[in-house]
Structures are given as structure tokens and as C-alpha cells.
Amino acid sequence: MEIKQRIFNSKEQFLEFRSKFRSLFNSRKVVFNPDDFAVYATLRGRDPSKGFTPITNVRKLANGQTANQAKVVCRDRLRVGASNEIQSILGNDDLYEEAVARTRELLK
């Protein structure tokens, strides 16, 4: 069973979550970082790794960055958890932890 179906009991509940996320994003009161968008993609049933573009700049790569550095940093930051905003929108700590764990799996 996909995580989207496990977390959201109905289509209306999912649409309400998506609406809250969008309004919070559009309000610009909160700054979302890549980990938040990765968890959001997972909750929507999407592949979060598709949100990361590999680094191709030769200078950056020559100075020690790796092609998938942003994805690795995001995965590592998710060990601590994404922002509390997504957690507050979901309203359930267990579901949030499940979403973060699933996102980390998908970013490997």
C-alpha cells in the first residue's frame, strides 16, 4: 500500500492537506527547505529524488562537491526531521515519522 493511502483516509483529507501546504507556502511566513519539499513529494506519492538536479559545474565538482550532494545532504538532514510545519499540517507525529522514514528510503 502506498504511503499516500496509509496516511490519508480519503481524497478530501489529502486535498485539505495539499491546500494547507500551498497556503502556507504562498503566505511566505515560513521558509521551506529541500527536506520539506522531499517529504511533501513523498506524501503526494511522488519520487522525492526527482526534485534534485545533479551538479554538473566542472569547477564545483573539481572543488570537492559531488554530483548528488544536495540529495545526500537532504537525506542526512532528514535524520533530524524536516520542519515542524509539515508535522503541524499532518497533525499526527507517527504519520510524520513514517513519511520522513519513507522519504529517506527513497533518497538512497
Report which of residues 1 and 46 the model is more confident about.
46
Q: What is the pTM of this model?
A: 0.82
Sorted by sequence, the CB contacts under 8 Å of residue 67 that are 6+ apart come out as: 54, 55, 56, 61
Kindly report, residue by residue over 58-73, the tens digit of the pLDDT: 999 999 999 999 898 8
CA distance 24 to 92: 18
Furthest-apart CA atoms within the chain: distance in Å = 49
| pLDDT surpassing 70 at residue 1 | no
Residue extents of the structural domains in the chain: 3-106
The mean of the pLDDT values for the chain is 86
CA distance 80 to 92: 17
Kindly report, residue by residue over 19-45, the tens digit of the pLDDT: 999 998 899 888 888 888 999 999 888
CA distance 44 to 37: 10
The pLDDT confidence band at residue 100, using thresholds 50, 70 and 90, is: confident
Q: C-alpha cell of 55?
A: 551538479
* Residue 4 pLDDT: 77
| pLDDT surpassing 90 at residue 98 | no
Given a contact cutoff of 8 angstroms between Cβ atoms, the answer to whether 106 and 46 are in contact is no
CA distance 93 to 101: 12
* Residue 81 pLDDT: 63
